[in-house]
Amino acid sequence: MEIYGTIHFRLILPHFPGFQQEPLPAPVCSRSPDCKDCPYPRHGFLCWGADGTCLRSRMSEINEKKVEKIDSFYSVLKRTEMLTVNMEELNYLAKRLESFDTGEAAQFQAMAHKLELFELKDLINLTFCCQQATVITNFSDLAAIGRDHYMNLHGGSASVDELNALDGKETARQLIENGGGTITPYGVVYDNGMKLEQVYDGRFFPCYYYEPNVITVAVTSKAEPEDTEHITWLFLPMVQEEIDRALLRGGITDPADVRLRLEDSQLPNEVDVLLDMEYETLSDLNELAGATDGLSNADMEKLGAVVMLAEPKSAAQIKNLAESLDLFDLAPGAHTPQEYGKYMIQQSGRFEYDENLDAFYDYEKYGMERMNAEDGMFTDRGYVAYKGYYSMEEVMNGSQSSRMEMGGMM
Q: Per-residue DSSP letters for 248-272?
A: HHTT---GGGEEEEEEEE-S-HHHH
Residue 260 sits in the same domain as residue 322 = no
The answer on 320 and 281 residing in a single domain is no
Say which residue, 66 or 9, is predicted with more confidence: 66
Q: Could you tell me which of 6, 3, 17, 40 has the C-alpha nearest to residue 88? A: 17
Per-residue pLDDT band at 301 (split at 50, 70, 90): very high
Taking residues 7-21, what's their average pLDDT? 40
On whether both 231 and 320 belong to a single domain, the answer is no
Beta bridge partners of 331: 383
Show which of 254, 270, 290 is a domain's final residue: 290
Phi, psi of 408 (to 5 degrees): -65, -35
DSSP 8-state secondary structure symbol assigned to residue 205: P
Reported pTM: 0.75
Q: Which helix (H) or strand (E) holds 331?
A: strand 328-332
Which tens digits make up the pLDDT trace of 379-406?
Answer: 999 999 999 999 999 999 987 665 555 4
More confident residue, 31 or 308: 308
Judgement on whether residues 323 and 367 belong to the same structural domain of the protein: yes
**SS3 of 225, please?**
coil
- 280 and 347 belong to one structural domain: no
Q: Is 71 helix (H, G, I), strand (E, B) or coil?
A: strand
Number of domains in the chain: 2
Q: Quickly state the pLDDT bin for 17 (edges 50, 70, 90).
A: very low
**pLDDT of 11:** 37
DSSP per-residue letters across 190-204? E-TT-----SS-SSS
How far is 2 from 352, CA to CA, in rounded Å?
56
Cis peptide before 337 (omega within 30 of 0): no
In the predicted model, is pLDDT for residue 209 greater than 60?
A: yes
Give the pLDDT confidence score for residue 29 in this predicted structure: 64
For residues 193, 196, 197, 198, the Cα torsion angle rounded to the nearest 10 degrees is -170
245 with 336, same domain: the answer is no
Tell whether 209 is covered by a domain: no
How many residues are recorded in the chain?
410
Specify if 380 maps to a domain.
yes
Work out the mean pLDDT of the chain and round it to a whole number.
Answer: 85
* In a domain? residue 156: no
Domain-embedded: residue 323: yes
The residue out of 256, 290, 324 marking a domain boundary is 290
- Residue 147 within a domain: no
- Asked whether residue 319 falls in the same domain as residue 273, the answer is no
Q: What is the per-residue pLDDT for 102?
A: 94
Q: What is the pLDDT of residue 45?
A: 47
The last residue of a domain, from among 290, 317, 341: 290
For the ranges 232-236, 251-255, 297-301, the lowest mean pLDDT is seen at 251-255
* Same domain, yes or no: 402 and 303: yes
Residue 397 in domain = yes
Q: At what angle do helices 282-292 and 240-249 cross, to 10 degrees?
A: 140
Q: Name the 3-class secondary structure at 232.
A: strand
Q: What is the structure's pLDDT at 48?
A: 61
Task: Examine residue 116 and state whether it is found in any structural domain, yes or no.
Answer: no
What is the Cα–Cα distance from 335 to 368, expressed in whole angstroms? 12
319 and 385 in a single domain? The answer is yes
Task: Judge if 312 and 258 occupy the same domain.
Answer: no
Q: Does 135 map to a domain? A: no
Do residue 307 and residue 267 come from a single domain? no
The Cα–Cα gap between 202 and 85 comes to 12
Q: Are 314 and 393 in contact (CB under 8 A)?
A: no
Give the pLDDT confidence score for residue 247 in this predicted structure. Answer: 87
- Using pLDDT thresholds of 50, 70 and 90, give the confidence band for residue 21: very low
Q: What is the pLDDT of residue 349?
A: 75
Residue 248 and residue 303 in one domain? no
Please work out, in degrees rounded to the nearest 5, the angle formed at the alpha carbon of residue 239 by the alpha carbons of 253 and 16: 45
What range defines the domain where residue 266 resides?
Answer: 215-290
